[in-house]
Structure 1
Amino acid sequence: MGLRVLFAFAALVSQASAASETVFKTRLNGWYKCSDHTFSDQGSSDGQYSECATMSAPLCYPGICKTPQFADPTVDIFVKRMLATNGNPKVATNIWLLQGGPGYSSSPLESSMLDLFAQLNETVNIYTMDHRGTGRSTFLDCVAAQVTTTGSPNGKEIDLEEIGSCARELENEYGDLSSFSTTSAATDLKTFISKYTNGATTIVYGTSYGTMLVERLIHLNPPGVTGYVLDGVATASGASADKFFFMSKRDIDFGIVGDRFFALCSQDATCSSQFKKPNNLPQTLRGVLTQFEKDPKSACASLMKEVKNMKDYPTSTTLSITLGAMLTDEEQRKLIPPVVYRLKRCETKDVDVLRQFINVYNTFSGASSQDDSYYSPLLFNLIQYSEMWEIPQPSMAEMKKRTRSTLLRTGAELYSQHYCAFSKEKSQCATPEQQVDAQTTHEYAENLLDTLDGDKKELVTFNTSSHGALMYTFLDGGDAWTPTCGVKIVASYVKSKGNLKGWTSRAWPECRPTT
């Protein structure tokens, strides 16, 4: 099946800047030679281009929060770099790569750092950091309350009953948790760029939540930064509320992207031949969901009870959320049409195949990597519910309406109780019953582009990528080890030192179609 998928994007903004610096104490512990790959499951660590350090930064920056007398007044910020080996690193262009999340460390970006380093012939300095609360930086965790352990009710994900004790511990440890806000993390970055880099041209790249961090950095106006790259835009500061990126609206976003994905099936000869009008792919799935609601104990509906961590939900909800999760994965989304086809037909042979599919899906979705030890679910929840959720949350009726109006979904209404527990809001809380980038839809990039002042900005849209163009825009005929379209385009932008004049007229390499 030759199904082309329209997916991720990158908004690139060129901005000259100069700013005065607020004076406060920091200290650098480094640099030390360290392995290019932190974890063995991400690649060989034979090379040692990298150096590592930590910066001791204020727990609270002026204007953000005040450090309580009982709290440790500093936090550690981990930074990794690869210095130019071809040319003088003291005058080389600096590139920063910032991870998404929130809550994830920078270690998954290490392969992209190496790819970009090679693409630029080792003529640049490449940096990354674990934003505060994650990884090797001061880690946001509830050690005293012992939540999110492997023996906890929900394992690494915080359980509703754990939130209260964890919140009390964090308050006793840090006081005001705005010390772990996006603005605090962006101020760490501005501080490091100002104090501990070479003062040369600097370009900052962020992916997913990293774009929110980059956008906050733009507001802080750091000296020397001449360009920004926002890949998978998860922010739209300055946009009206109806155009702003909110995690609480993700079911709406998944519905939009799901419709685009389904439309691609009708354009593909093989896919459309299995879903003939009027029973095209979305109509077929809608019929399956309706059938599951009517008869949740039917042979294929009952299979949904075998999906990991979903046995307590209605079978139709489980199917929609499972397919929604598949939509975000570069390979699994290709299986959505055949899964829907077999669920509709539901013969004995289909039940056997679908059961095997669910077993594989459970294994995949439950798989862990060494990176997981650096992920902070508490930071994810803190930032999600304080900075990325509608406040106050819409009524439960509205949340349910959003969820149930889409064929592919995340089930945002299922997180309403967590929002209520983290925010302490009671008014709307009750017990809940790339252009195909479902996680950060294309519209948010357009909205942010519209709100940015000036004309030194450009939007680049990739037609064949899942979430994160730097990692997932594979070249046609390439493999997982070939530098991606995203790497090549960012490298080209870096070579221009953030100057967009004439840059956008170049022909980009053909990315691999989804099949």
Structure 2
Amino acid sequence: MNAKKDLAAIIDYELSDHDVFVYGLSYGTYLVERLVHFTPSSVKGFSVDGIVSESGDTVEKRSTFSNWDHDVGIVGNRFLAACMAEDFCKSKFPGVTDLPAFVHELYDRLDAAVADGKKGNNACADALSKNGMKPSYLLRSTFGEYLMSDRTRIAIPAVIYRAARCTEEDADALAYFAEGLSLADDDAGFGDSEPETLLYDSDMLYYLIVFSEMWESPTPDKATLISWYENSTMASDNYLSLPYYCLFTGSREHACQELMHLPEARPLVYERDQYWNKAGELPDGVTALLMTGGMDLQTRRMYGELEYETMSGERMLVNFDDAGHCTTFTTPVNSGGSTCGVRILASYVKENGVLKNVDTSCMDDLKPMKFSDKTADSQELFGKGDLYENSGSDW
């Protein structure tokens, strides 16, 4: 990937007489990690946030898009465990000791109620299957999306609670919920996007990079990808990416030959260079700040920890247990103002990359994740005045 050399050239040309700190977040961390191999002399430090691990001696230790749903499932279970560790959330599931197992049993029950087109066995299953999907698929994929947001993730236990209890009012609430998801899908086309957004959004470039550098090869087959999806309480439909892998790589490997009506294609991907799957070495006098979130499903915390272990040189790892993707956005503090992630990053730069001087005191003021918070709009989601109960203020 030559982008690392382009970035190094820009820094050398434009900023050679400055002290430079390079910050990357999400999949931009992969580019920053590659830049470490070519560290310009003016760079004093690197910071990566929401980390894609650059290397690993097994595919399980590399952040690959092919195991996306497997990773989402792990973080989803961690989120459900946090629910059971809080009195308010746990009180909604009396007698339940293993919430992920409870959710899988609920999925099986809902799917069985509408199998083979059956209706009338479970009003909540009927409500959640109106768009043609299995109820479990609708919920699993929606939860995977909701878990990405500090605001909507709080609603996940409420949906589970209503689907399990399934009173007449719950069925009405879930029908409202499913209809809202259907309307959101209808409004998600590119025709509704702003031109300025489309200029910087390229599926072609995205798939080119992913399938060249960040997908397991040979690929897991369709059955494996679907099993990762179905074995997760929350997921993101990653099995649908398999045909794109086959088209972009032109591969005729087993997993691609299984797909019917897939045309032969000329490979579009580029070759991996000599720096692929190799951790960088920080030069003397250059440091790195790494930040991860325990509820980050897009770049799982484990990959940040692995990057920290494999990177050589002076570095510092900061983990936020409740934070989602990119801690500079997902670490609010009780006192308000800038997030803790931003404060630590600013301190790192202010202290000129001297790690022992970085101020992390804001971690003592982090706003905890509370399942009783009213961050999710119950009226918007369910047409009800409360996430869990059917109050007299319902419209």
Output the TM-score relative to the length of structure 2: 0.76
Distance 2:205 2:100 in 1: 36
Distance 1:339 1:403 in 2: 19
Q: Is the 8 A contact 2:243 2:259 kept in 1?
A: yes
Distance 2:240 2:126 in 1: 21
Query: Structure 2 vs 1, CA of residues 449 and 389 (structure 1 numbering), >3 Å: closer, same or farther?
Result: same
Q: Is the 8 A contact 2:344 2:359 kept in 1?
A: no
Name 1:343's counterpart in structure 2: 163
Alignment pair present for 1:217 and 2:217: no
1:287-333 per-position Cα deviation (integer Å, ceiling 9, x unaligned): 22101221224432233345xxxx45433222211111111111111
Distance 2:329 2:11 in 1: 25
SS at match of 1:420: helix
The one-letter amino acid of 1:223's match is S
CA displacement at 1:426 relative to structure 2: 2.4
Q: Is the 8 A contact 1:232 1:469 kept in 2?
A: yes
Alignment pair present for 1:465 and 2:323: yes
Distance 2:173 2:362 in 1: 43
Name 2:205's counterpart in structure 1: 379
Match of 2:89 among 258, 271, 283: 271
Match of 2:251 among 421, 425, 429: 425
Match of 2:297 among 438, 452, 456: 438
Q: Is the 8 A contact 2:331 2:367 kept in 1?
A: yes
Alignment pair present for 1:475 and 2:333: yes
Name 2:306's counterpart in structure 1: 447
Q: Is the 8 A contact 2:128 2:175 kept in 1?
A: no
Distance 2:94 2:252 in 1: 48
Name 1:284's counterpart in structure 2: 102
Query: Structure 2 vs 1, CA of residues 289 and 325 (structure 1 numbering), >3 Å: closer, same or farther?
Result: same
Name 1:319's counterpart in structure 2: 139
Name 1:299's counterpart in structure 2: 123
Unaligned ranges ≥5, structure 2? 261-292, 371-395
CA displacement at 1:440 relative to structure 2: 0.9
CA displacement at 1:340 relative to structure 2: 0.4
The one-letter amino acid of 2:172's match is D
1:39-84 per-position Cα deviation (integer Å, ceiling 9, x unaligned): xxxxxxxxxxxxxxxxxxxxxxxxxxxxxxxxxxxxxxxxxxxxxx
CA displacement at 1:185 relative to structure 2: 2.0
Higher strand share: 1
Root mean square deviation, CA, Å: 2.2
1:142-199 per-position Cα deviation (integer Å, ceiling 9, x unaligned): xxxxxxxxxxxxxxxxxxxxxxxxxxxxxxxxxxxxxxxxx22222211111001252
CA displacement at 1:506 relative to structure 2: 4.8
Name 1:500's counterpart in structure 2: 355
CA displacement at 1:284 relative to structure 2: 2.9
Trace 1:72-91 onto structure 2 (pairs within 5 A). Answer: none
Alignment pair present for 1:356 and 2:176: yes
Distance 1:468 1:369 in 2: 24
Q: Is the 8 A contact 2:335 2:365 kept in 1?
A: no
Query: Structure 2 vs 1, CA of residues 466 and 369 (structure 1 numbering), >3 Å: closer, same or farther?
Result: farther
Q: Is the 8 A contact 2:21 2:44 kept in 1?
A: yes
The one-letter amino acid of 2:234's match is L
Distance 1:239 1:495 in 2: 36
The one-letter amino acid of 1:453's match is S
Distance 2:298 2:309 in 1: 20
Moved more, 468-477 or 484-493: 468-477
SS at match of 2:329: helix
Query: Structure 2 vs 1, CA of residues 241 and 284 (structure 1 numbering), >3 Å: closer, same or farther?
Result: closer
Name 1:93's counterpart in structure 2: none
Name 2:341's counterpart in structure 1: 486
CA displacement at 1:422 relative to structure 2: 1.5
CA displacement at 1:507 relative to structure 2: 5.4
Query: Structure 2 vs 1, CA of residues 363 and 400 (structure 1 numbering), >3 Å: closer, same or farther?
Result: closer
Name 1:513's counterpart in structure 2: 368
Q: Is the 8 A contact 1:239 1:448 kept in 2?
A: no
The one-letter amino acid of 1:426's match is R
The one-letter amino acid of 2:35's match is L
Distance 2:321 2:98 in 1: 23
Distance 1:239 1:459 in 2: 21
Distance 1:381 1:312 in 2: 28
SS at match of 1:470: coil
The one-letter amino acid of 1:449's match is Y
Q: Is the 8 A contact 2:25 2:326 kept in 1?
A: yes
Query: Structure 2 vs 1, CA of residues 464 and 412 (structure 1 numbering), >3 Å: closer, same or farther?
Result: same
Trace 1:160-175 onto structure 2 (pairs within 5 A). Answer: none
SS at match of 1:235: coil
SS at match of 1:329: coil
Unaligned ranges ≥5, structure 1? 1-182
Distance 2:361 2:315 in 1: 16
1:200-234 per-position Cα deviation (integer Å, ceiling 9, x unaligned): 21111111101011011112222211111110001
Name 2:50's counterpart in structure 1: 232
The one-letter amino acid of 1:461's match is N
Distance 1:241 1:279 in 2: 32
Match of 1:408 among 234, 242, 248: 234
Distance 2:197 2:360 in 1: 41
CA displacement at 1:509 relative to structure 2: 5.4
Name 1:178's counterpart in structure 2: none
Output the TM-score relative to the length of structure 1: 0.59
Distance 1:241 1:464 in 2: 26
1:116-153 per-position Cα deviation (integer Å, ceiling 9, x unaligned): xxxxxxxxxxxxxxxxxxxxxxxxxxxxxxxxxxxxxx
Name 1:19's counterpart in structure 2: none
Question: Percent identity of the aligned residues?
Answer: 34
Q: Is the 8 A contact 2:340 2:362 kept in 1?
A: no
Distance 1:422 1:489 in 2: 40
CA displacement at 1:425 relative to structure 2: 1.5
